[in-house]
Amino acid sequence: MANSTYAYFPGCSLHGAGSEYGVSTELVCKALGVDLRELPEWNCCGATPAHNLDRWLGLALPARNLRIVEEMGLDTVTAPCAACFSRLKSTARELADPAVRAKVNALLDRPVTKLAEVRSLVDVLTQGDVLARLAEAKKKPLSGLRVVSYYGCVLVRPPDVLRFDDCEDPQSMDRLVTALGGEAVPWTHKTKCCGAGMLALARRPVVIDKLQEILAAAEHVSADVFATACPMCHANLDTRQAQVNRVKGKQFNIPVLYFTQLIGLALGYAPGALQMDRHLVDPRPVLKEKGLA
**Per-residue model confidence (pLDDT) at position 199:** 66
**Per-residue model confidence (pLDDT) at position 201:** 67
**Per-residue model confidence (pLDDT) at position 293:** 87
Dihedrals phi, psi of 137, to nearest 5 degrees: -90, -15
Summarize the confidence of residues 83-108 as an average pLDDT: 98
Angle between helices 172-179 and 259-266 (to 10 degrees): 20
pTM of the model: 0.96
**Per-residue model confidence (pLDDT) at position 2:** 46
Domain 4-122 annotated CATH 1.20.1050.140: yes
**Computed from CA positions of residues 281, 284, 286, 292, in that sequence, does the dihedral angle turn out positive or negative?**
positive
Tens-place pLDDT, residues 206-242: 999 999 999 999 999 999 999 999 999 999 999 999 9
Summarize the confidence of residues 22-47 as an average pLDDT: 97
Query: Could you state, in order of their start, the residue ranges of all structural domains in the chain?
Result: 4-122, 140-289
The Cα angle at residue 135 between residues 131 and 141, in degrees rounded to 5: 115
Which among 260, 259, 240 is positioned nearest to 250, based on CA atoms?
Answer: 240
**What's the mean per-residue pLDDT of the chain?**
95
Summarize the confidence of residues 276-292 as an average pLDDT: 97
Query: Are 4-122 and 140-289 in the same CATH fold?
Result: no
CATH architecture, domain 140-289: 3-Layer(aba) Sandwich (3.40)
The Cα angle at residue 31 between residues 27 and 33, in degrees rounded to 5: 120
**Per-residue model confidence (pLDDT) at position 1:** 39
Q: Is a pLDDT exceeding 90 seen at residue 203? A: no
**Per-residue model confidence (pLDDT) at position 51:** 78
